[in-house]
Structure 1
Amino acid sequence: MQPDACSSPPCNGPVLRAPSFPILTLDERRLTPSLGYVFNRKWLHPCESLISIVWNFEKADALPGHVVARLMGPDIDPHEGIVPQLGTVDIQRLRDTLAVPMKTLRTSLLLPSHRRRYSGLFRYCHRCVARGYHSVLHQMEGVGMCPAHRQPLETACRRCGYEAQCLASVQLLEAPYRCAYCRASYGVRGALSR
């Protein structure tokens, strides 16, 4: 009889086999899962913002915010972040990672303009956010009410009053659908799923 603390298996014991399911491995050169990410294009909804898309992606893959921010461009400082605007985000890189059509990614971004048309603060409808959705329309300065719910758009957290900048940064990305400062939910409790 072998002792309990023996490192070699008993000769007459069961034979170990390789697992029949794939094991997630990392490509150490790129620090991304080499077997790919989990993301379903059916999760996308019309006029969904890039912030909302990457929040869903981040939650599905249990990724930290700095990894998701780097997917928007290799030279992006994840802590400073970038405005989710066409021309600042590497949409080809995102398309390759998420397998989302370019048209969808383009419509999820703010359009650059000479005069400011978009709010610099993250604006949201508490009913949309409760359903896991944020629209690029919510960021338009001329829109004061959610087009779907006819509720006023908000910028401040209801618990602490913090107003987050509309930047794809670690601070915002690591708090999906929540206040980046106190982590309170932006949504309404008990809301139906979308």
Structure 2
Amino acid sequence: MGTNIIWREEWKRPYESIWSLIENIKISNSINGSELSQYINENKVNRRRSLRNVNKLSDEALNKLNELTNIDFFEIKTTMLKLSKLERYNPLHYFHTHLCFCEKCIQYNYHSYLHQYKLIDVCPFHLTSLQTKCEDCNKDIYFFNIAKDIPFTCKCGYQLYQAMDEPIWKILSEYEPILKVSIINDNLTEGL
């Protein structure tokens, strides 16, 4: 894969998870996860290990993603970690390892890192219950492996979103998630 990735600034949406951004990079460029991971981890001896969790990508991989898209993936990771700053030794402890998603958000190829936060069980944008299982096989979806070929898809092959008649660039440009809840405790929002 060359370094010619199609990505437009207006496709980045607030609170979007690293996983969602990676899936949308794959869709908008008609590439699979293996091709993308090969590029972002080209200097890694053990690529498989570094792809186990999108939230644990190396600084080198995050830099390469930034070069491709001009998205500050470090900022997303830092914001996520601020949500879990109470846990010093394992800050990712506050995030589900399986996919939690909003059925309305996923229809726009959108997933928020807020959906993964263990203390949140409703979508903060639609106020609907978050889904935690595949509708088809009724199993947890482990979303973190970016080497998957088909974006936004369960291991059983079920696509989490239905293909729309609209082109992908239009879907990414038009959907703007807006928070419908607010955090009352100012101590929790400090620095976010």
Paired residues in the alignment total 156
* 2:153 equivalent in structure 1: 178
Q: Any unmatched runs of 5+ in structure 2?
A: 176-192
Match for residue 67 of structure 2 among 91, 96, 106 = 96
Within-5 A mapping of 1:4-153 = 31-33=1-3, 36-74=4-42, 75=44, 77-78=47-48, 81-85=51-55, 88-89=58-59, 90-100=61-71, 102=72, 105-109=73-77, 110-111=80-81, 113=87, 114-115=89-90, 116-153=93-130
- Seq. identity, %: 17
CA deviation vs aligned residue, 1:155-187 (integer Å, no higher than 9, x gap):
21011113122413323xx232232x2322324
Higher helix share: 2
Question: What one-letter code is carried by the residue in structure 1 that aligns with 2:54?
Answer: P
* 2:144 equivalent in structure 1: 167
- Residue pair 2:50, 2:56 contacting (<8 A) in 1 also: no
CA deviation vs aligned residue, 1:142-164 (integer Å, no higher than 9, x gap):
11110011111112101111312
Task: Quote the Cα distance in structure 1 between the aligned partners of 2:140 and 2:49.
Answer: 17
TM-score (norm 1): 0.68
Give the greater-gyration-radius structure (CA). Answer: 1
CA RMSD of aligned residues (A): 2.8
- Residue pair 2:104, 2:126 contacting (<8 A) in 1 also: yes
Q: Any unmatched runs of 5+ in structure 1?
A: 1-30
Task: Quote the Cα distance in structure 1 between the aligned partners of 2:144 and 2:124.
Answer: 23
